[in-house]
Amino acid sequence: MQYRKFGNTGAEISVLGFGCMRLPEIRKDDKSYIDEDLAMPMLMRAYELGINYFDSAPYYCNSNSESAMGRALKSVRDKIYLSTKIPMEKYEKKGDFRKQLENSLAKMETDYVDFYHFWGINKATADKINKNDIMSEVRECREQGLLRHISFSFHDAPESVKYIIDGVPGLESILCQYNLLDRSNEAMLEYAKEKGLGTAVMGPVGGGRLSPPTGLYEKLTGKKSSATYEVALRFVMGNPNISCALSGMETVEMLEKNVKIADIAGEITAEEWARLGEAMEEVAKFRDLYCTGCKYCMPCPAGIDIPKLFEFYTHVNVYGLGEGIKGSYKWYKKNPWGEGKTFAHCVDCGSCEKKCPQKLSIRKELERVCEVLENL
């Protein structure tokens, strides 16, 4: 395992981190629980293989993740870094920072957290942190040994990163999305590193979309073999501005495969890294001719997430990621993040087409796209 300097925090963290958002689960009496027989040994195996950065959050795995992570690694607590997050919507008044932190510490059965993140913040949350002087609560908790470092995670527009880093002095690391299909945070990760922040990224294999072996690598390099998945992870780890790629691993097999890749990470040369990125941009141009993802067509009165369905199609058609998208589409229809509606629910109102700057025949395209997705 390779270890990298985590900004100015003084920590050296493994280039592969363990994201505890997809721990194996079982269902009992219509409720989900962590499958401890699988999850606990897997987390310990990750430690034995050299991973020293473990990330969780209060709501992951039906709010069971923090507890599983903390308990599984209790015996090696002083040799690892634990990370979790504060849901900022729970902060209403002075003292709430500490309250949320203490809840997480109790769940993780530990006295302190190494990296405590303001969870999924944006410009408005940055303002809220300053207005309520939450950093003074952070300092107090740090002095009392409840946390070591304060960090933030992020899903907003990339330009907000600068606003947050410059506007909230004292932040020590950033966690955001970054992968071959979504490089929008690349410049901001560079900025964060320049400012001395540690940089961890999530979704290095595109939230699973890039994980199955596909034709992408061949499309990019002209060479056969190698899983897209491996290319994707090596691409992220090959970026010198990134300290750690967090992967949400579900099985020991996946863990061991990722560790093998992490062992040779860095061998990708700067040239290779740039070439892969450029090739991907070229491929992406085809996508831009189609739907830009601008979302002007939304909201759809029938609850159809039009850009999302078009994005799925692009990943199948342009990047050759059919196997991965099959799962994402199934997941979409189960509706964990939206209404799960498809062309079958279209009420033919036509409002989307009036708003599309690309002048797409959305209804016709949607019918075609949904047929392709249904038949993956």
Q: In the complex, which residues of this chain contact ligand SF4 (CB under 6 A)?
A: 291-297, 300-302, 304, 306-307, 310, 346-352, 355-356, 358, 360, 362-363, 366
Provide φ and ψ at 212, rounded to 5°: -75, 150
- Least CB distance to ligand SF4 at residue 347 (A): 5
Nearer to ligand SF4, 10 or 293 (CB): 293
The helix/strand/coil state of 211 is coil
Closest separation between CB of residue 307 and ligand SF4, Å? 4
Compare residues 269 and 358 and give the one whose CB is closer to ligand SF4.
358
Q: How far is the CB of 317 from ligand SF4 (least distance, A)?
A: 15
Considering beta carbons, is residue 217 or 329 the nearer one to ligand SF4? 329
Q: How far is the CB of 331 from ligand SF4 (least distance, A)?
A: 20
Closest by alpha carbon to 134, among 86, 174, 173?
86
* CB of 235 or CB of 313, closer to ligand SF4: 313
DSSP 253-276: HHHHHHHHHHHTTT-S-HHHHHHH
> CA angle at residue 78 from 75 to 81, to 5 degrees?
105
Q: Are 2 and 258 in contact (CB under 8 A)?
A: no
Collapsing DSSP states into helix, strand and coil, what is residue 146? coil
| Residue 339 phi, psi (nearest 5) | -95, -5
- Report the alpha-carbon distance of residue 137 to residue 361 in Å, rounded: 53
- What is the separation, in whole angstroms, between the first and last Cα of the chain? 37
Shortest distance (Å) from residue 320 CB to ligand SF4: 21
Nearer to ligand SF4, 53 or 310 (CB): 310
Q: Among residues 2, 62, 56, which one has the least CA distance to residue 26?
A: 62
Q: Concatenate the DSSP letters of all residues of 98-125 into one string.
A: HHHHHHHHHHHT-S-EEEEEEEEE-HHH
Answer for the pair 258, 233: CB distance below 8 angstroms, yes or no.
yes
CB proximity list for 158: less than 8 A, separation 6 or greater: 184, 185, 187, 188
Closest CB to ligand SF4 among residues 150, 346: 346
Q: In which region does residue 145 sit, left (phi positive, over 0), alpha (psi from -120 to 50) or beta (all else)?
A: left
Q: Which is nearer to ligand SF4, 271 or 348 (CB)?
A: 348
Compute the least distance from the CB of residue 300 to ligand SF4, in Å: 3
- Rounded least distance, CB 367 to ligand SF4, Å: 10
Classify each residue of 104-121 as buried b or exposed e, where b means 16 or more C-beta atoms within 10 Å of its C-beta.
Answer: bbebbebebbbbbbbbbb
Identity of the residue, 260 or 295, whose beta carbon is nearer to ligand SF4 in the bound complex: 295
Closest by Cα among 107, 119, 106 to 151: 119
**DSSP one-letter string for 169-188:** TT--EEEEE-BTTB-TTHHH
Nearest approach in angstroms of CB 285 to ligand SF4 is: 15
Q: How far is the CB of 298 from ligand SF4 (least distance, A)?
A: 7
CB nearer to ligand SF4: pick between 127 and 339: 339
